[in-house]
Amino acid sequence: MSDLEKTKEQLIAELVELRAQVTALEGRVDEYSTLTHQQWHSLVDNTPAVILILDRDHKIRFINHTRPSVLKEEIIGRRPDELCVPEHREIYRRSVDRVFHSGKSDSMEIAARGRDDQVRWYLNHLGPIFEGGQVVAVSVIAEEITEQKGAEDALRQSEERYRSLVEACPDAVLMSDLRGQVLFASPQAQDLVGLPDDEELADKLLVDFVVEEERRQVTTNLARLLDAGVRRDIEYNVLRRDGTTVPVEVSSALIRDAAGQPKAVMVIVRDVTVRKRALAALARERRTLFRMLRASDHERQLIAYDIHDGLAQQLAAAIMQFETWQHLEEKHHDKAETVYEAGVEMLRQAHSEARRLISGVRPPILDESGFVAAIAHLVHDQRVRTGLKIELFSDVEVDRLPAVAENAVYRIVQEALANACRHSGSPRVRVSLVQQGDMLRLGVQDWGIGFDPEAVLENRFGLSSIRERTRLLGGELLIESAPGQGTHVRVEMPIVARGGGEDSV
């Protein structure tokens, strides 16, 4: 056998063996492909998402599974947009067209209504299927998100209710992290610190909005909040953008996560300016009442001294004279007559003193003729008693005032005139009563030694009495004076006609 024949037979044998190996490999490839195809079907059929394949006419050519009440035969060949709610159909069609034309994936959320008339939401992921470099179909993976959408709607509604509550709340509401950095601020908080609308509080620190001396207190209270969980009614002074301050009351609470760990801080800030003013006004009223009580006690004490040193002494002396007269009447008639006349004279003096005291407390002319006549009488008495030149200028149209107001006006002029006559050293004093519209202006002016109105001691009841009576009448008091410059006491008060009740002012 030639070498050529041997080589031919050897090649044939090797070719047969190689063919057998190829056949074996093809069998293994078929086995592998079959397993892979089965696994793919199992994966697709068992995935919870709905998988569709759409042709260029948007018709369904494949669906992995359907609901028990729906047959695949009812779905195959239909267009998915037919299953959407009307307002989402055009959205679905445009999304499929985009994938066909661009060859790029797309996604969208759509709602579909089933046979049970229930609307269900789906998140759709669309992807191109290529063949020969061309998009021949579109795959759709639709994941139902109905529960998620429901939760999102509930959360959105909750956030809307919360936002409405916060915006309707008159107090400022803030949320910060545990370091005090602002995460959220209500419009009221924006207004409270005086920031413009285009500048937000977010990312700023809480300590930046209080006066400098209270910033350490804010840091300390944040640390204590981590231990206590709640801090209530802590007072600060908020520093506004324009440099002014606002007194506030702050309550704060920790916000915790699902694990119970501190996550953020909720802060409610209440402007207490009105309350502070009310408390300050109440304190002033208490001080005023106390001063008026002291002044009233002082007046009673003066009246008691006058009665003790004047009227009571005169009456006691008169009694002694009449007792002596009784003893001398029978044996010493001449002496008895003298003692009797002395006793009568002392009774006359006591009567005059009683009238003076009554006039000092409330002159009868005030009730009989009104405050203008009473003040004219007061000026005349002071002129006679002191010998000073006291002028009275009166231009008042109103006839009478309520009794309380008339007494207060009389007392104001009486006190101011007494001070001028007693302390000023002025040779003349001018009293004026002027009506301008529905306002009454009182004035008592001297050209004496003057004084510093800011340096008047609290136990000087005269000026305190004038000030409080003016305030109770709804008027304003102005004292113009300086050492060596004389004094001018001016009061301006509204006029209330008599008739609305004797005690109305």
Q: Domains of the chain: which residue ranges?
A: 1-44, 47-142, 169-271, 275-361, 370-505
Q: Which pLDDT score is estimated for 505?
A: 37
Q: Which pLDDT score is estimated for 466?
A: 86
Distance CA 52, CA 139 (A): 6
Lowest average pLDDT, out of 92-101, 336-345, 372-381, 410-419, goes to 336-345
- Confidence bin at 503 (pLDDT 50/70/90): very low
* Span 224-275, pLDDT tens digits: 888 888 888 899 999 888 889 999 999 999 988 878 888 899 899 999 988 8
Res. 71: pLDDT tops 50 = yes
Please state, rounded to an integer, the average pLDDT across all residues of the chain.
82
Residue holding tokens 């005169």? Answer: 314
Q: Which pLDDT score is estimated for 172?
A: 87
Three-state SS for 149-207 is HHHHHHHHHHHHHHHHHHHHCCCEEEEECCCCEEEEECHHHHHHHCCCCCCCCCCCEHH
Out of 3.40.50.720, 3.30.450.20, 1.10.3720.10, 3.30.710.10, the CATH code matching 169-271 is: 3.30.450.20
- Confidence bin at 149 (pLDDT 50/70/90): confident
Domains 169-271 and 370-505 belong to one CATH topology: no
Q: How far is CA 242 from CA 199, 209, 245, 495, in A?
A: 14, 12, 9, 41
Res. 434: pLDDT tops 90 = yes
Q: Which pLDDT score is estimated for 500?
A: 44
Q: Mean of the pLDDT values across residues 443-453?
A: 90
Query: Which residue did the predictor score with more confidence, 476 or 357?
Result: 476
Distance CA 285, CA 267 (A): 34
194 — phi, psi (to 5°)? 75, 30
Indicate the CATH number for domain 47-142. Answer: 3.30.450.20
- For residue 51, what are the β-bridge partners? 141
The CATH fold assigned to 370-505 is: Heat Shock Protein 90 (3.30.565)
Query: Which residue did the predictor score with more confidence, 409 or 294?
Result: 409
Closest by CA position to 452, among listed 428, 477, 485, 420: 485
Q: Mean of the pLDDT values across residues 456-485?
A: 79
Closest by CA position to 487, among listed 386, 391, 393, 417: 417
Q: Mean of the pLDDT values across residues 144-153?
A: 84
Closest by CA position to 201, among listed 160, 167, 172: 172
Q: Mean of the pLDDT values across residues 448-452?
A: 88
With residue 439 as reference, give the H or E element that holds it. Answer: strand 439-446
Termini Cα distance of the chain = 153
**Residue 120: strand, helix, or coil:** strand
Q: Where does residue 363 rank: exposed (0-12), middle (13-18), buried (19+ CB within 10 A)?
A: buried
Q: Which pLDDT score is estimated for 308?
A: 75
Q: Which pLDDT score is estimated for 365?
A: 84
Q: Which pLDDT score is estimated for 298?
A: 66
Q: Hey, how many other C-beta atoms are within 10 angstroms of the C-beta on 231?
A: 17
Encoded tokens for 398: 């109103």
- For residue 235, what are the β-bridge partners? 249
Distance CA 340, CA 321 (A): 7
